[in-house]
Amino acid sequence: MVTETDQVKALQKAILDRAHQLSDEHIQQGKMTRNKIMQDTREKIKLMEQKELLAAKLNADREYQRLVQASELRIQAELDRNRWGLVQSVVHHMVQELDRQHKDRKRYPVIFRNLLRQGVAAMGPCAVTAFINSDDLSQFSKTWDSLVVECCGTNKKISLSGEACICSGGLKLVSDDGDVMIDNTFEGIIGRRDEELKRLIFERLFSTVSPMGAVYNG
């Protein structure tokens, strides 16, 4: 026969068993929650690492591009300086060549006559005064009248100024009323065609030079 004491003990046991069961369930649930938190944390850390690596890669790419662009600009600037130096060197040699032409007593008179003839034709019918350098004054002053007739005919009045023109060769023609002037000195000719000459020199010197992109892209 089951006594009241036995019933109490059975109830206590049932309560303890349930408590143990609930405790085990809570422990298991806690472990699962802990594992889930740790997994989520690991995934978040991994995602943060990936983002940091991506950001670092992007920053590295930007820095690389910046360095490449800066290097390209430096190289381009150096190339531009070298090219301009070469152009200036060619222009300098061209001036030296004109000086040699002026000193050539056989070729220069022919050049001078052509410049005189072309300049006078461009001046029109007005009376003209010619200005030449001191060397040419010594060479042409005594035969000036016959030189004018030879180049321009007998109907053209061209006076020769006794004042020397500062130039390396050629001549400057000024109308007597001062309204018209043709500068056929060597310096005047070069000055009028300066941009064209430099463009031509540049094209001849660098027509086969590859663009900057080829340096980096092959």
Measure CA 168 to chain center: 34
Output the pLDDT for position 215: 35
Question: What is the 3-state secondary structure of 4-40?
Answer: HHHHHHHHHHHHHHHHHHHHHHHHHHHHHHHHHHHHH
**Residue 71 and residue 190 in contact, taking contact as beta carbons nearer than 8 Å:** no
**What are the helix (H) ranges across the chain?**
4-103, 108-123, 134-140, 144-152, 186-192, 194-206, 213-217
Per the confidence metrics, is the pTM higher than 0.95?
no
Measure CA 175 to chain center: 44
Mean pLDDT for back-to-back runs of 10 residues, the chain (218 residues): 66 70 74 78 80 82 83 79 74 80 90 93 89 94 93 88 92 91 91 80 66 38
Q: What CATH code would you report for 107-193?
A: 3.30.2320.30
Output the pLDDT for position 213: 41
Q: Which two tokens stand for residue 92?
A: 């300098």
Q: Where are the domains of the chain?
A: 107-193
